[in-house]
Amino acid sequence: MTASEEVLDRGLSADIADFIRGPHGHEIGDMIDRLSPVGNCAIFGGLARDFAREGRDAFKSDVDIVVHGLPGVLDALLSQMSGRRNQFGGYRLEYGRFDFDIWPLQMTWAARVGHVKVRSLTDLARTTFFDCDAVLFDCRTLEISRSDRFWTSIGQGIVDINLEPNPNYIGTLVRTLRILFDKKQKLAPRLARYLARGVEGSRKDIMDYAARDRRPIGSATEIDLGNALVSWRAKALEEVVCHEFPTPINI
């Protein structure tokens, strides 16, 4: 960790801590208070990523909270709070102005299927598909944990793969397209290859998923998206930018 990254970590931590106890995010702090008797909590992924990338005003995602406690105790509490169980072993619920996804540490998908050994909240940084999501805020210590590439990804606007196996292949391809066309981020070579293979083999599934999601990718209509996916592989080399690979690579 460099000195500049330590400064960035401290700034991000202070911003999140202030937000969840302030007038615009106090429901998140309230939720943490309700969950903390079960075990230590971490705000994982999207909130910290958006705060790091563009500041708190850019945050429009759900709030992901992971609890290091007994799953049965957490189940009982979230059931009382009218949480809806999801397919990944966690719960989804609305509280105040925010939608929350909450799950016990042990049910983290990458840990449950054996891809990553997860013993503490800090291990979560090794479980995300995208490197820009590999960040968490420990609600007890107020410390930031993240992947080694997190600040590089945020600072350079280049997204890469952190852990390739994931439980939602088509959804991940769609999200990669949103990163490329909506967020205007660049793809590192490994992620570009992953997307190119997916577009080549799963174009119809990608289009169907995007249609069900009712959120257009960029400004594309369904026909435009189909044409874009057909031509994307040919254009991929122009989109790939990574300081570690200054010359084009074949995909």
Question: For the sheet containing 39-44, what is the strand order?
Answer: 84-85, 91-95, 98-104, 63-69, 39-44, 135-138, 144-146
Q: Please report the pLDDT score of residue 240 as a whole number.
A: 47
Residue in this structure with the two tokens 């799950």, named with its chain if needed: 103
Q: Please report the pLDDT score of residue 110 as a whole number.
A: 94
CATH number among 3.40.50.300, 3.40.630.30, 3.30.110.70, 3.30.460.10, domain 3-155:
3.30.460.10
State the DSSP string of the chain: --HHHHHHHHHHHHHHHHHHTSTTTHHHHHHHHHHTTTEEEEEESHHHHHHHHH-GGG--SPEEEEEEE-HHHHHHHHHHTT-EE-TTS-EEEEETTEEEEEEEGGG-HHHHTTSS---SGGGGGGS-SBGGG-EEEETTT--EEE-TTHHHHHHHTEE-BS----S-HHHHHHHHHHHHHTS--EE-HHHHHHHHHHHHHHHHHHHHHHHHHT--STT--HHHHHHHHHHHHHHHHHHB--TT--S----
Q: Which tokens hold the place of 226? A: 């189909």
- Contact criterion met (CB below 8 Å) for 130 and 162: yes
Question: What sign for the dihedral angle of Cα 159, 1, 60, 78?
Answer: positive
Residue 37: which of 6, 74, 85 has the closest Cα?
A: 74
Per-residue pLDDT of the chain (251 residues; tens, 9 = 90+): 687 999 999 999 999 999 999 999 999 999 999 999 999 999 998 999 999 998 888 888 899 999 999 999 999 999 999 999 887 778 999 999 999 999 999 999 999 999 999 999 999 999 999 999 999 999 999 999 999 999 999 999 999 999 999 999 999 999 999 888 888 889 999 999 999 889 888 888 988 888 887 666 765 554 455 555 555 555 554 554 443 433 333 33
Q: Please report the pLDDT score of residue 45 as a whole number.
A: 86
> In the chain, where does the domain assigned CATH 3.30.460.10 lie?
3-155
Q: Please report the pLDDT score of residue 220 as a whole number.
A: 52
Q: Which tokens hold the place of 239? A: 């989109």
- Contact criterion met (CB below 8 Å) for 215 and 177: no
- For residues 146 and 61, what is the distance between their CA atoms, to the nearest angstrom? 19
- For residues 78 and 86, what is the distance between their CA atoms, to the nearest angstrom? 12
Q: Please report the pLDDT score of residue 93 as a whole number.
A: 93
